C-alpha cells in the first residue's frame, strides 16, 4: 500500500468524529506525515507536518501492516516497530479507530 492509500484508509476510519479529542501524527519519515486533527468537527486528516499531542514514528510498511490488520498495535509497540512520543493516552484511543 502506498502513502496516499494509507492516508485515504485513515481518513475513512477516522470519519467525522473519531472520539480522539486530540491531534495525532503518524510520522513515516521520508515518506511523509499523516496528521489527524481530532479536535476539529468534523475531524480532519491531512499530510501536513504539524505539532501534535501524540506522534507515532512508524515505517510505511509497518503502517500498512497496521491498517491491513496483520500487525497488532500492542505487538508493534512492544517489538519496537514503532514508537510513541507525547500523550500515550491518545495512541490508546486510536486503537479503537484503527
Pairing of strands 54-58, 23-27: parallel
What was the pLDDT predicted at 61? 98
pLDDT in tens, 4-42: 999 999 999 999 999 999 999 999 999 999 999 999 999
What was the pLDDT predicted at 95? 86
Which triple of cell numbers denotes residue 73? 498495535
Which triple of cell numbers denotes residue 3? 502513502
Structural domains present in the chain: 3-87 (3.30.1050.10)
Torsion angles phi and psi, residue 71, rounded to 5:
-125, 120
What was the pLDDT predicted at 96? 86
Q: State how far the Cα of 90 lies from the Cα of 17, in Å rounded to an integer.
A: 14
50 by DSSP, 3-state: which?
Answer: coil
pLDDT in tens, 33-76: 999 999 999 999 999 999 999 999 999 999 999 999 999 999 99
Calculate the average pLDDT of the chain: 96
Amino acid at each position: 500500500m502506498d502513502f496516499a492509500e494509507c492516508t485515504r484508509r485513515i481518513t475513512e476510519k477516522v470519519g467525522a468524529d473519531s472520539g480522539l479529542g486530540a491531534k495525532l501524527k503518524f510520522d513515516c519519515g521520508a515518506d511523509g506525515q499523516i496528521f489527524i486533527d481530532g479536535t476539529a468537527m468534523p475531524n480532519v486528516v491531512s499530510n501536513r507536518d504539524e505539532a501534535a499531542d501524540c506522534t507515532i514514528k512508524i515505517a510505511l510498511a509497518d503502517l500498512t501492516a497496521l491498517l491491513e490488520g496483520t500487525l497488532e498495535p500492542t505487538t508493534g509497540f512492544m517489538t519496537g516497530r514503532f514508537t510513541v512520543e507525547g500523550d500515550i493516552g491518545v495512541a490508546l484511543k486510536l486503537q479503537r479507530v484503527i
